[in-house]
Amino acid sequence: MPKGAIVAEKLTRWFGVGEARTYAVKEVSFEANWGEMLYIVGPSGSGKTTLLSMISGILRPNSGSVAVDGRDLWSLSDDEIADFRLNTIGFVFQDYHLFPRLTTAENVAIPLILQKRNWSEALSTAAQCLEIVGLGDKAQLPPTKLSGGEQQRVAIARAIVHQPEILVFDEPTASLDGETGRKIVSFVKTDILSAKRCIIMVTHDSRIFEYSNRIMEMEDGRITGFQQGQTV
């Protein structure tokens, strides 16, 4: 298999059968590079989230392939794919998905607990990640005591705590005001992206386009073009 960060070849996913079949993604091929922040943009229903799900091991394609660091993802067993998601991918969602009954440090530690790491070690590592995102003094607070931008930073800390190679962001600024959204994405570009990491971000937010390395445009389940962003 080719060895880029992510290499997708003719990925296709449909829903329904017979005359009711609808293509969400149709023969999409692209490569994402190490050290790159690649945006996927397009109107609602263009296949962005479906594509994101296929390259991150959540949704199996009907045809085509995706390789992550040279490894053919969908040739793996279900258990191997689950391990892949746990160890290789970090997810950041629009709505944060934080547990209100846990402290911020406990929220961040969740991927490490799923990896069966020692609880005190997991909390210590989580606290270090909260320092990285500028929230070291908020470790013992519940998420409900944080602003939207702070909650998104907690979600980023949780996504990087297990040191994944691939970070996947799904509309990370949709619930934030423009200034906060730009600050969050600028921080991700400056402090989280590295030569050994690839970031894929689905977004509608043109206010953050300046922080991308490349922008991949989609419509009706297909790639319609690329824009060059900042230099990698």
Q: Which of 172, 228, 219 is nearest to 200 (CA)?
A: 172
**pLDDT tens-digit series, residues 107-122:** 999 999 999 999 999 9
Between CA 87 and CA 166 the distance in angstroms is 10
Mean pLDDT of 142-159: 94
Let me know if residue 21 belongs to a domain.
Answer: no
Assigned domain for 20 exists: no
Judge whether 27 lies within some domain. Answer: no
Q: For the segment 41-65, what is each residue's pLDDT rounded down to a tens digit?
A: 999 999 999 999 999 999 999 999 9
CA distance 5 to 29: 14
What are the CA-CA distances from residue 8 to residues 30, 62, 199, 210 (Å)?
5, 13, 15, 25
Q: Is the pLDDT of residue 8 over 90?
A: yes
pLDDT tens digits, 59-114: 999 999 999 988 999 999 999 999 999 999 999 988 889 999 999 999 999 999 99
pLDDT tens for 10-41 read: 999 999 988 889 999 999 999 999 999 999 99
Provide the token pair at 149. Answer: 């931008």
Which ranges in 104-146 belong to alpha helices (H)? Answer: 104-114, 119-132
Rg of the chain over all Cα atoms, to the nearest angstrom = 18
Query: Does some domain include residue 223?
Result: yes
Give the pTM. Answer: 0.90
Residue 41 has a CB neighbour count (10 Å cut-off) of 20
Chain centre to alpha carbon of residue 231? 21
Read off φ and ψ for residue 38, nearest 5 degrees. -105, 125
Position 1 pLDDT exceeds 50: no
- CA 100 and chain centroid, separation: 22
The domain in which residue 224 lies consists of: 33-60+76-228
User: For the chain, what is the domain count?
Assistant: 1
Q: Which residues contact 83 (CB under 8 A, 6 or more apart)?
A: none
Token pair recorded at residue 212: 């991308």
Residue 71 neighbours by CB distance under 10 Å? 14
% of the chain with per-residue pLDDT over 70? 97
Domain assignment present for residue 13? The answer is: no
Distance CA 196, CA 70 (A): 14
Tokens 């390789």 belong to which residue? 67
| The predicted structure's pLDDT at residue 182 | 92
Q: Is residue 66 part of a domain?
A: no
Question: Residue 148 is part of a domain; what is its CATH number?
Answer: 3.40.50.300
**Residue 6 to residue 155: CA distance in whole angstroms:** 23
